[in-house]
Amino acid sequence: MSGGVLEGIRVLDFGRYVAGPYCATLLGYLGAEVIRVEKREGSEDRFIAPLTPTGDGAVFMQTSCNKKSLTLEPTTPEGREVTRRLVGVSDVIVANLPPASLRAMGLDYESVTAVRPDAILVTQTAFGATGPYANRGGFDGIGQAMSGAMYITGTPGSPAKAAAPYVDYTTAVLSAFGTLAALIERGKSGRGQRVDATLLGTALAVFNSHLVEQSVTGIGRQGSGNRVQTSAPSDVFATTDGHVLLHVVGNGLFRRWARLMGDEERWLSDPRFTTDQSRGDHSMPILERTRAWCALRSTAQAIAELEKAGLPAGPVYTPQQALEDPQVQAMAFLKPVHYPGLPRDALVADLPVALSRTPGGIRQPPPRLGEHTDEILSSLGYDAADIARLRANGIV
């Protein structure tokens, strides 16, 4: 594998939890050198869903491949000096931290550009720098809740959050997208800039089609769980041994569904079922017919017949079934990563896009806590005595 399209770019990762660290991970998958800076005892996101005797967890495994690890207390004077030296030799600084924390660590944009004028500072906050909630913190679920997504995903009186933290990860992807744009622009102008992303902004963008509809029509949709309200049959259906998700959109697919049900003329001649929206508005008979059809078949049988009919469908898997699926295995997207203390290799998602000429992806496992501290400090001009003093003083 080549060094990647970002070979020669150095990224400082001061991120916590997902939005910042996974942004840096994606840049590392594309070939950037990424230095993860964390607390001497390990930052909190290292220990979510622990897997090893030392507590290293699943979120850390997903967001830390290809990185080096430097431990640091960055709010101390000596720690700020280490940070200043790091910034001076880095292209991108990623920090999803509150503005006050950025200032205390010397990572606000003014401090960063005073050291390196062409640096790119990438920040992620819950709500951005303006507005009544600017000083509030937040996590993925807050974005899901405040965008309206939880309300519609659930049912009346019972809102539901997606288990997949899509707001966090999408914010990370958009941050990496913005970073690439800033790097391209810097190549033209020689100037750096800020890249700012927000959890609420991401959540609003992902859920925007529903908000567009509401802003124009005032329709006031109620939550409907797995049932899609703008087409039918689009829902989750029970089989004899599990569940399948079927999504039928467009008249062509609806005709295929009607043919598979065996009473095509009934469905195609009914004026209630002439468009996606009319089928969504009058979905109960369509859903009842599909439930009855699925209830007579195993999941495998239903999927086979739906596939033969040309209808998009998939089985509802447990996490273990997802790992065992032959298509998942054929894609080889989940890479086995060895890490000290794991009872078996962790299956970590590789770079989510394929580049035909300059492929990137996982090259190294996540770093052990502080694994590269001495190496990095030496590259910044600290000698062995300096490093010993910093360690004795609790700085690294």
> How do residues 343-395 score in pLDDT, each as one tens digit?
999 999 999 999 999 999 999 999 999 999 999 999 999 999 999 999 999 99
Contact 44, 394 (CB under 8 A): no
Asked whether residue 7 carries a pLDDT value surpassing 50, the answer given is yes
Confidence of residue 1 (pLDDT cuts 50, 70, 90): very low
- Reported CATH class of domain 234-238+243-315: alpha beta
* Residue 2: per-residue pLDDT: 56
Place of tokens 């744009």: 181
Cα 351 versus chain centre, distance: 12
Strands (E), 21-175: 33-38, 67-71, 92-95, 120-125
263 is known as an active-site residue: no
Average pLDDT score, the chain? 96
- Between β-strands 243-247 and 313-315, what pairing exists: parallel, antiparallel or unpaired? antiparallel
Asked whether residue 332 carries a pLDDT value surpassing 90, the answer given is yes
Phi-psi bin for 50: left (phi > 0), alpha (psi -120 to 50), beta?
beta
* Residue 100: per-residue pLDDT: 87
* Residue 326: per-residue pLDDT: 97
Query: pTM of the entire structure?
Result: 0.94
Q: Which CATH number is associated with domain 10-206+330-392?
A: 3.40.50.10540
Domain positions in the chain are 10-206+330-392, 234-238+243-315
Task: Name the active-site residue from 168, 235, 276, 350.
Answer: 168
Tell me the C-alpha to C-alpha distance, in Å, between residue 219 and each of 153, 212, 227, 272. 16, 11, 17, 19
pLDDT digits (tens, 9 = 90+) for 55-114: 999 999 999 999 999 999 998 999 999 999 999 999 999 999 888 889 999 999 999 999
